Chains A and B, each alone.
Chain A
């Protein structure tokens, strides 16, 4: 094990997989000479050269389409959009093409490609650069979605994503890049898709989260422990495939659940997760499932009001208290 940042863990995953597979190429906005807007691709151009690490024009839709074609032609492209917000310019290639091609062509081809996109709010980047679009992708079948919470998962999930023969949307949280953690050194260490982690065991309430929300949920659980409240925290790790079994089993055990999502509440993924718990655990639940979500507003710039729009430790703590107070 080595301690490293989420950013360095992603960088190491890219390097290890580049060394392993000569069919892997990396291209995207400012990934080569500039070494990535968030420096995730630092040093790749120097190690692998300009044939394999390539800067592209700012043409998001075509970045994805290029990757689709390259994957169809037998390469293993890993592309980066500067932030997930720009995926909205590429939704045609992501949704109409990447996610459809295998099915609509009767399974005659597959697309081993990864689309890396930093995202999430909390950096005062205002309305156009602070979005959490995971529900948009989760709504669409035909692609996998990973969103790591820890440096270990950042490495392990990215390596799994690269080796996966399905197209993978790989989300990275901008506020987690500098977070540190222990990461296995084994170059064959892979984090499995479709298997949620019970990152903290507990008895009174289940908190379901992903990515930065998992970090906040763990902090909330720490605070609640001081009050004698025992929280079980589930980190989803991948949103497709979704490991519903793990959080359903946990909710059945504790009888209470809080679902935390960074995206907007309306039609957000938390509604789907909460519904799955209600449907599967109706008889075991002691209270309705509570959702903690981003507010349904375009993100404001000012620090003092931006923070109100994103789930925080205190909003999770408060939701847990509410769900414990309620009873059926």
Chain B
């Protein structure tokens, strides 16, 4: 028997989780459309299917906590509070983008929100997350660092170096592996001797848990517990969120390495409709209210596209700006 939602968060917060997942989904699907139209170019990695992880986790973190992620990070930034229109403008390469058009899809960054970046070298953000956690510890700040990465990162040296270091120096880091089963086209069991990722932390004496990453409430509860442990002990914790991306690795990937049957199984576990059913069942929202939320999110994303289209390109002088202080 599932715990009643009202025992976990307020009505408003519970509906808000749905709204954030809906906004993320609308945003990503609009990105796909804009990519097809040629307005977004370069690499584009979409988060559709994984929304419960970013939304559940962010809800369990304090605003002061640092968040870092990899290159599939639009939703992470938006859920944290980045304006969708500035994220979309960044994807369009416009001067009004979150990073003035210098970063693009893979390098969103917003220090005002303590969103400390999207990184596109697999596993590259783990050492940086440890460094941020060290700075917070050194300055005796009450903040932890949440570092998200995919299952592809767990065989990088930085994964092992960072876990070892975080435990050795007792750094307040929450490592969250978003296991969507595929590093591009290579399934976890074809790349990892121990495919149950959360078991790998025993070599570093870091407590770890596995959580259903398609269930926003399960993620919220697991992250909340882990974060409390980090704050209480000052030591790192590790979570493996089992999830699935509905699209290919990037827009360039038709995902032919996955069967239609597998895809259908996971589609049935889509975090949005499943969570919507729970909200309806517990009388937290009506179907009309949820539809209104989706409409509102669609309008926000449409507005973001309009803003990005209308925004100016960076000027020539921008080439030499913001490299050195």
Contact = CB atoms under 8 A, between A and B. Distances in A.
Interface residues of A, number: 41
A69 B132 contact: yes
A93 B325 contact: no
B165 A105 contact: no
Interface in A128-177: 141-142, 144, 164-166
B168 to A, nearest CB: 7
A318 interface: no
Interface in B128-145: 128-136, 138-139
Contacts of A25: 138
B99 A105 contact: yes
B93 to A, nearest CB: 12
Given A102-B323, A107-B322, A75 B135 contact: yes
A109 B111 contact: yes
B132 A73 contact: yes
Interface size class of B (residues with CB under 8 A): 35 or more
Given A57-B168, A73-B135, A105-B117, A62 B102 contact: no
Interface in A155-203: 164-166
A123 B4 CA distance: 71
B109 A65 contact: no
Given A59-B161, A62-B165, A97-B124, A70 B322 contact: no
A72 B128 contact: yes
A77 B135 CA distance: 10
Interface in B161-186: 161-162, 164-165, 168-169
Contacts of B97: 106
A170 B157 CA distance: 25
Nearest to A112: B325
A61 B128 contact: no
Nearest to B108: A105
A74 B135 contact: yes
Nearest to A144: B324
Interface in B77-131: 97-103, 107, 109-111, 116-117, 119, 121, 124, 126-131
Give the one of B111, B126, B128 with max A CB within 10 A.
B128
Interface string A46-76: 0000010010110101101111111111110
B316 interface: no
B302 interface: no
Contacts of A96: 121, 124
A156 B223 CA distance: 48
A3 B318 CA distance: 47
A199 to B, nearest CB: 27
A108 interface: yes
A222 to B, nearest CB: 37
A57 B325 contact: no
B323 A69 contact: no
A146 B259 CA distance: 55
Nearest to B324: A166
Contacts of B169: 54
Interface string B295-324: 000000000000000000000000001111
A163 to B, nearest CB: 11
B250 interface: no
Contact of B124 (A72, A92, A110, A142): A92
Contact of A64 (B127, B165, B325): B127
A165 B324 CA distance: 8
A266 interface: no
A71 B138 CA distance: 12
A62 B134 contact: no
Give the one of A61, A64, A69, A70 with max B CB within 10 A.
A69
A238 to B, nearest CB: 13
A89 to B, nearest CB: 8
Contact of B321 (A107, A110, A164): A107
A2 to B, nearest CB: 32
B129 A69 contact: yes
Interface of A: 25, 51, 54, 56-57, 59, 61-62, 64-75, 77, 92-93, 96-97, 101-110, 141-142, 144, 164-166
11 contacts: A25-B138, A59-B164, A61-B161, A65-B162, A66-B127, A69-B128, A96-B124, A102-B325, A104-B103, A104-B109, A108-B99
Given A97-B124, A105-B103, 4 more contacts: A73-B136, A75-B134, A96-B121, A103-B322
